[in-house]
């Protein structure tokens, strides 16, 4: 297995994986076509990977992406007298069903944790679904209460 950054040749697999992830975790029927989503994702991905703000890490096995983690760097406002490092927003953590419970996701997450330390990012925020909390806890993450939210109406 190879852990690497995703690039443009991976886009078709990443689109399909995100679609499958959404179907797996969304009980209500989507009123959105795959072709509409594909256009939206391609636009996002092109901007994301060229911005230097997003990193899409993948696990590849025999030419197939079997797991991925999306990382967005969030820049902090500098404070006087203090070195300021960005923090990490982790999202879209997904392993295809046939590779689950084999350590693939944990191997990728441990790789990401080391990458975060090496780059001196301050901390990581991730909002896991209820089933994934133990996965994160066994990989060194601490459960925290939800942050405050505002939804403009």
Q: Report the candidate in 41, 53, 43 with the shortest Cα–Cα distance to residue 17.
A: 41
Q: What is the pLDDT of residues 78-98, one digit of tens each?
A: 889 888 899 999 999 999 999
As a whole number, the mean pLDDT across the chain is 90
Distance between CA 68 and CA 4 in Å, rounded? 10
- Please report the pLDDT score of residue 27 as a whole number: 58
Q: Report the candidate in 65, 57, 47 with the shortest Cα–Cα distance to residue 5.
A: 57
Q: What is the pLDDT of residues 106-139, one digit of tens each?
A: 999 999 999 999 999 999 999 888 888 888 998 8
What value does the mean pLDDT take over residues 8-31? 85
Q: For domain 2-138, give the CATH superfamily.
A: Gcn5-related N-acetyltransferase (GNAT) (3.40.630.30)
Tell me the domain boundaries of the chain.
2-138
């Amino acid at each position: 297995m190879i852990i690497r950054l995703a690039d443009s040749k991976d886009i078709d697999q990443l689109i399909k994986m995100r679609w499958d992830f959404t179907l797996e975790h969304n009980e209500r029927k989507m009123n959105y076509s795959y072709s509409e989503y594909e256009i939206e994702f391609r636009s996002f991905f092109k901007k994301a990977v060229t911005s230097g703000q997003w990193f899409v890490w993948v696990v590849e096995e025999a030419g197939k992406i079997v797991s991925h983690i999306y990382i967005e760097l969030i820049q902090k406002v500098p404070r006087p007298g203090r070195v300021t490092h960005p923090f990490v927003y982790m999202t879209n953590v997904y392993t295809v069903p046939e590779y689950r419970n084999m350590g693939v996701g944990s191997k990728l997450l441990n790789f990401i944790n080391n990458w975060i330390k090496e780059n001196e990012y301050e901390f990581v925020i991730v909002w896991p679904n209820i089933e994934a909390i133990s996965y994160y806890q066994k990989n060194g993450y601490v459960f925290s209460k939800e942050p405050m939210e505002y939804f403009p109406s």
